Structure 1
Amino acid sequence: MKLGILPLGRPTFDVPFAEKNLSAMLTALEAAGAKVLGPRTLLFDAEATEAAIADLKRQEIDFLLLLQVTFTDASLTVAAANAFDLPMAIWAIPEPRIGGRLRLNSFCGLNLASHALGLSGRKFSWLYADPADDIAGELADLLSGKRVVGQLEGTIAATTSEAAEEVVRKTAGKRIARLGEHPVGFDTCAYDKANLKALAGVEVEELNLDTLFDAGKIADADDVEELRRTVDAEGLEDVDQTELDRSLRLKIALDGIRKDGRFDAFAIRCWPETFTEYGGAVCGPVSLMGEARVPCACEADVYGALTQLVLQEASGEAVFLTDLVDIDTSDDTSVVWHCGQAPLSMLAEGEKPLATIHTNRKMPLLYEFPLKPGRVTFMRISQAHGKPKMILAGGDMLDRPKSFTGTSGVVRFDTSADQVLTRVMDSGLEHHMALAYGEHRPLLKEVAAAMGLPVLEL
């Protein structure tokens, strides 16, 4: 077999660690007996990746393998898929849960890729495995096309209820402010305003990201100082104080925009411009807004904001829009994480929130703490495979130390970790799911029926 590889990465992650893992992946592929063609170094940008694609086309490869060494968006994955009418696979890798930064975030890249490829009906094989483990059998299956992604669809519940109808009525008429456009390659965050209005009766107003930045810059200094005094976090004095001030101003700005526009939720393009153009993180302010029952979705994820509104209404609890970043089948657990924006009511007992900086962009304010143990419900109003549906999961958040910096929790889903991993891939699920504490799936299934949405359970 002439195996063409594209090793994908981003320089904002731990490049030396990524290179070490890439070396191990190449060693495993060579041991599998394939003739490996293509670059042996990480491809960090479109120019390098497009050049590598052109080179592989000239070599007339038999099989295309994308090495998802770190997180990347799906744009180059889709470009590669479109360039070759060949069997294709993606190999992503876990990383140790040792409490430090999320050094690779490889699974999230696979998650984005599976959703984007699912929208176009492009079949691919996949593997999520450590190259240092004994994976010869799994790798052989991958390269022989035996691990092809499936396509799961849901079913509509037969009945609804007055409580579910009330959730739908209360959600209708809500207003979401979208601040900035979603990043390129984040097909998971794309939306159609008319379709969303028809589905849920929710309005979206599209605002420029400068609306947020300009409001932050003119925020009243006394209001900012008062907010600072109420921030419950250790180490507030240890972060850059100018950047902290800018970050807190974004909370004041969001409050003002919400009041002026009568908004109930936000979908915010949180990076890179909040760091590169404005100079402070919006993650901490998002945590504070969520605690105040004004959900905010990262990466301008409008359906993520809608998901939070529905789950918040159904649960009566604060919600957290999170990434699934690791699944460990040997431990039968998974890790949910986001940079540092979980509502403070999700703080584990006996822990104190730490004021910290964004691991990639190095600016405050973010919170760092492990999520408290307890029963949890996950939900996403999804557009997977181009068909609206509600995706649900239930599980127990465990009493475990934090896996990574930011806000994260170790969850044991009701179904096995192996099944969750497969069903995430086969469902084409977006990379954001909302979680709330408590068991809310029975009501949410009825809500889905009232909205005309099929339900798919992980």
Structure 2
Amino acid sequence: MTNIPELKIGVVAVSRDCFPECLSVNRCKAVVNAYKEKYAEKNIYECPICIVESEIHMEQACIDIKKAGCNALVVYLGNFGPEIAETLLAEYFEGPKMFIAAAEESGKHLIQGRGDAYCGMLNASYNLKLRKIKAYIPEYPVGDAKECANMIHEFEPIARAVLGLNKLKIISFGPRPLNFMACNAPIQPLFDLGVEIEENSELDLYEAFQKHKEDQRIPELVKEMEEELGEGNKIPKILPRLAQYELTLKDWIEEHKGHCEFVTVAGKCWPAFQTQFGFVPCYVNSRLTAQGYPVSCEVDIYGALSEFIGMVVSEDAVTLLDINNSVPKDMYDAEIKDKFNYKIQDTFMGFHCGNTASSKLSFCEMKYQMIMARNLPQEVTQGTLEGDIIPGDITFFRLQSTADCRLRAYIAQGEVLPVATRSFGSIGVFAISEMGRFYRHVLIEGNYPHHGAVAFGHYGKNLFEVFKYIGIPVEEIGFNQAKGVRYPTENPFE
């Protein structure tokens, strides 16, 4: 996908001068080789300079990995390590960083071959805290070559997310719709994260749209849409206007990216959008999201931010859905109760008008927006991509600012069930273990809006580490507690 950071990880072995330097050198080579054998060779670079206790060596290593094009750092303690030099390296390196340590190889080599990196990691973490340096440390950061290679691979999505946020611009159009305070949140925390925001009027967007009326690229883009929709192309006459709108957004992104490298969009879609543009933008939103440019509905700025994080972590298309409606009891009894290990309170339906990428739908058709058409002529509500979301693992999550500018987040892993929705829009039957309690004691208690980002797969572990890395207190990261584990606000008396 486009619009995702390309990662190159610099691995620097560190050594304390009273320990054999060869331990760090040889162990680091083994880690890098193990990584190259299992993962992408081009993603990793081994610094030829082994830091001892010298800050001079630290400076040389920092220059070397930057010159090699590395934008993420792994500090590898092959032995006890020099706590000052190794943490200064992390301080001077501008990108995301990780600390890992070598396990001892054999009971036969515990005299001259003992490195004590298990001990050194404690001092490294203490010094990182003293210097107020953010660094990722795995759950168990000590391992052999293959284990450390796997740790580096697990660091990749976290590093991509951190890099992406530092060079991200969110482009928004218009304020939230009337009676839609739910997606209104302060923008100060965006700047605290290093994220830029460009806020525009719908009039600016409409003017740009009108200027694309005779764009010569429209016919070619219409053909591309026809191929994607196939038999689902039920409203072919609307495609030229949708193509015109897609070109408008793409050109706006390129012209307004500025100094940032990555972009996401928070778009307006009602109430006046339909009557003025003559369609709804859902299908275009789905296409841009599939191409790597997530577009949130209803000017949901933190929804767009959440989508971007999910896309970068999963390297796949994501979607933004309403946590929308309960599953009817007769439907649960007939199709879920005796087939899946979920209570009815564990289930709900995730829905949006038609913004989910076609690749994430079991089937799709171009339709009109039924809810809007209750008050408007049907022809101005055309442009939704409707279908049931593909069954499989998902992660439901959101990063959000409170009214007083504190960042918080939630994460819940679950699945989309292979159950026909019998409804409209981009929609699926979702199941998350203990969802009923999570709904009450995280979503409601935490005052979250109804929009949630969806990543297609289980990415809770990575997202949790991303949220920790960017500074969200762990007590502010909600998740679905297992049965028997009580939420702080949960009534202890059944």
TM-score bracket, shorter-length normalisation: 0.5 to 0.7
Aligned to 1:456: 478
Identity of aligned residues (%): 24
What is the CA–CA distance in structure 1 between the aligned matches of 2:421 and 2:252, rounded to whole Å? 34
**Number of residue pairs matched by the alignment:** 297
> 194, 202, 206: which one pairs with 1:209?
202
User: Within the alignment, does 1:396 sit opposite 2:415 as a pair?
Assistant: yes
User: Within the alignment, does 1:335 sit opposite 2:349 as a pair?
Assistant: yes
Q: 1:427-438 residue pairs with structure 2 within 5 A? A: 427-438=446-457
Aligned to 2:251: 256
Q: Cα distance, 1:221 vs. partner?
A: 4.3
Aligned to 1:10: none
What is the CA–CA distance in structure 2 between the aligned matches of 1:439 and 1:356, rounded to whole Å? 31
What is the CA–CA distance in structure 2 between the aligned matches of 1:385 and 1:180, rounded to whole Å? 20
Aligned to 2:427: 408
What is the CA–CA distance in structure 2 between the aligned matches of 1:449 and 1:237, rounded to whole Å? 44
> 239, 246, 251: which one pairs with 2:235?
239
Q: Cα distance, 1:330 vs. partner?
A: 3.2
Aligned to 2:366: 355
* Deviating more after overlay: 433-442 vs 398-407: 398-407
Q: Secondary structure at the match of 1:299?
A: coil
Q: Which has the higher contact order (CA 8 A, sep 6+)?
A: 1
Aligned to 2:220: 226
Contact 1:213/1:250, CA 8 A, preserved across alignment: no
Q: Secondary structure at the match of 1:405?
A: coil
Deviations 1:379-425 (A, max 9, x none): 10023574321111110111111342111111110224455355422
Q: 1:176-187 residue pairs with structure 2 within 5 A? A: 176-187=170-181
Deviations 1:323-375 (A, max 9, x none): 01113463741100100010122122xx3x21111112332211111111111
Contact 2:412/2:432, CA 8 A, preserved across alignment: yes
Q: Secondary structure at the match of 1:260?
A: helix
Q: 1:15-414 residue pairs with structure 2 within 5 A? A: 160=137, 162-163=155-156, 164-198=158-192, 200-219=193-212, 220-231=214-225, 232-234=228-230, 238-239=234-235, 241=237, 243-262=238-257, 264-328=263-327, 330=344, 332-348=346-362, 351=363, 353-359=364-370, 360-361=372-373, 362=378, 363-384=381-402, 386=404, 387-414=406-433
What is the CA–CA distance in structure 2 between the aligned matches of 1:194 and 1:370, rounded to whole Å? 37
> 445, 448, 459: which one pairs with 1:426?
445
Q: Secondary structure at the match of 2:298?
A: helix
Give the TM-score taking structure 1 as reference length: 0.61
* Residue identity in the other structure for 2:271: P
Q: Cα distance, 1:452 vs. partner?
A: 1.1
Q: Secondary structure at the match of 2:311?
A: helix
What is the CA–CA distance in structure 1 between the aligned matches of 2:135 and 2:301, rounded to whole Å? 28
Q: Which segments of 5 or more consecutive residues in structure 2 lack a partner in the other structure?
A: 1-133, 139-154, 328-342, 481-494
* Residue identity in the other structure for 1:338: H
Deviations 1:56-82 (A, max 9, x none): xxxxxxxxxxxxxxxxxxxxxxxxxxx
* Residue identity in the other structure for 1:321: L
What is the CA–CA distance in structure 2 between the aligned matches of 1:194 and 1:332, rounded to whole Å? 35
What is the CA–CA distance in structure 2 between the aligned matches of 1:256 and 1:158, rounded to whole Å? 37
C-alpha change, 1:331 and 1:388, in structure 2 (3 Å) is closer
Q: Cα distance, 1:205 vs. partner?
A: 0.7
* Deviating more after overlay: 229-238 vs 174-183: 229-238
* Residue identity in the other structure for 1:229: K
C-alpha change, 1:333 and 1:410, in structure 2 (3 Å) is same
Greater CA radius of gyration, 1 or 2?
Answer: 2
C-alpha change, 1:448 and 1:239, in structure 2 (3 Å) is same
Give the TM-score taking structure 2 as reference length: 0.56
Q: Cα distance, 1:237 vs. partner?
A: 6.1
Q: Which segments of 5 or more consecutive residues in structure 1 lack a partner in the other structure?
A: 1-156
